[in-house]
């Protein structure tokens, strides 16, 4: 069994997982755990625990009826970023519910290069005149911008250069606590609260948030109103779950 052979200096479990993926890819979804274990020359229990991990990260999928394995969507999407129109379609129901419950306008944004771009926008539910902002860019100091920048990798192709220490510190905080606030920094009188949306691989793929007057979103001390904050976090979580994020 070629797959069972240990190569010096290699990590054995990764090597085995790769072998399993090759077998699953070649089988067209026709193999169960016993066949896979046999094909890669592993004990069934070992193959089973490797498959469980691959299932967890979305690299394989299991047919609930037959128990057979096929390649997972996370693997198929590897190397291609999530389509923003697909993202909007998957987030739409949750964004609507967030706007209806909170009474605030909702935006979903992604990073396009260095720019924070709105990919979905639900109006504030008061029937006032509002313009659809899909496709427009937001300032990095917006709540959505902070969430996205906090989870981006500035060394990969950033044109804006290194971040000032104060900004870097705030972004670190955003990363740690799982949400960001804009206390009318981007737009006088108006602020925002946003939380990260994670994709199938667990990486942050978008930010979801509400915007409104500073007093509607924050108390006098600038602390987010707990009800609004929990609605935003729950909605972002729900979209992550919809996208198949692990643990969401």
Partner 1 sequence: MLAVDQGTTSTRSLVFDRGGRMVAVRQREHRQYFPRPGWVEHDPMEIWANTQRTAAQVLADVPGTGEVMALGIANQRETTVVWDRDTGRPVTRALVWQDTRTDDLVTELAARQGAALVAERSGMAIAGYFSGPRLRWILDHVPRARERAERGQLLFGTMETWLIWNLTGGPDGGVHVTDVTNASRTLLMDVRTCRWDPDLLAFFDVPAAMLPEIRPSVGVLGTATALSPALPITGALGDQQAALFGQTCFAPGEAKCTYGTGSFLLQNTGTELVRTRSGSISTVAYQLAGEPVHYALEGSVAVAGALVQWLRDGLGLISSAAEVETLARTVSDNGGCYVVPAFSGLLAPHWRGEARGLVAGLTSYVTKGHLARAALEATGWQTRDVVRAMAADSGLSLPALRVDGGMTTNNLLMQFVADALDTPVVRPMVGETVSLGAAYAAGLAVGLWSDVEALRRNWHRAAQWSPSPERARALTAEYPTWERAVQLSIAWGAP
Quick one: which of 205, 193, 186, 191 has its CA closest to 244?
Answer: 205
How far is C-alpha 243 from the chain's CA centre? 7
96: contact with partner 1 by CB under 8 A: yes
Closest to partner 1 by CB, 135 or 178: 135
Select 41 or 125, whichever has its Cβ closest to partner 1.
125
Minimum distance of partner 1 from residue 133's CB (angstroms): 10
140, 107, 73, 56: which is closest to 236 by C-alpha? 107
Q: Are 68 and 32 in contact (CB under 8 A)?
A: yes
Report the run of H or E that residue 220 belongs to, with start and end.
Answer: none
Residues written for the chain: 248
Decide if residue 92 touches partner 1 (CB under 8 A).
yes
Please, what is the minimum distance in Å from the beta carbon of residue 134 to partner 1?
Answer: 6
Q: Which is nearer to partner 1, 57 or 134 (CB)?
A: 134
Among 101, 163, 214, 241, binds partner 1 (CB under 8 A): 101
Work out whether 65 is an interface residue with partner 1 (CB under 8 A).
Answer: no
**Only segment of 6-14, 16-24, 78-86, 162-170 that touches partner 1 (CB under 8 A):** 78-86
The pair of three-digit structure tokens given for residue 134, joined into one six-digit string: 């899909």
């Amino acid at each position: 069994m070629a797959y069972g052979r240990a190569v010096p200096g290699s990590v054995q479990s990764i090597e085995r997982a790769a072998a399993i993926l090759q077998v699953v890819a070649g089988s067209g979804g026709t193999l169960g755990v016993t066949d896979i274990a046999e094909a890669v020359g592993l004990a069934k229990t070992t193959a089973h625990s490797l498959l469980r991990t691959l299932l967890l990260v979305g690299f394989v999928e299991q047919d609930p009826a037959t128990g057979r394995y096929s390649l997972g969507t996370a693997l198929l999407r590897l190397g291609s970023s999530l389509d923003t129109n697909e993202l909007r379609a998957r987030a739409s129901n949750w964004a609507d519910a967030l706007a209806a419950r909170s009474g605030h306008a909702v935006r979903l944004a992604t990073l396009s290069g260095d720019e924070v771009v709105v990919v979905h926008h639900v109006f504030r539910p008061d029937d006032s005149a509002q313009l659809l902002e899909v496709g427009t860019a937001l300032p990095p100091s917006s709540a959505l911008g902070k969430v996205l920048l906090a989870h981006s990798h500035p060394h990969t192709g950033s044109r804006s250069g290194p971040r000032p220490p104060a900004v870097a510190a705030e972004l670190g905080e955003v990363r740690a606590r799982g949400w960001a606030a804009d206390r009318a920094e981007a737009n006088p009188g108006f602020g925002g609260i946003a939380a990260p949306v994670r994709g199938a691989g667990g990486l942050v793929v978008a930010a979801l948030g509400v915007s409104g007057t500073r007093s509607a979103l924050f108390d006098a001390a600038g602390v987010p109103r707990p009800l609004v904050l929990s609605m935003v976090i729950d909605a972002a979580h729900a979209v992550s779950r919809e996208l198949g994020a692990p643990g969401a």
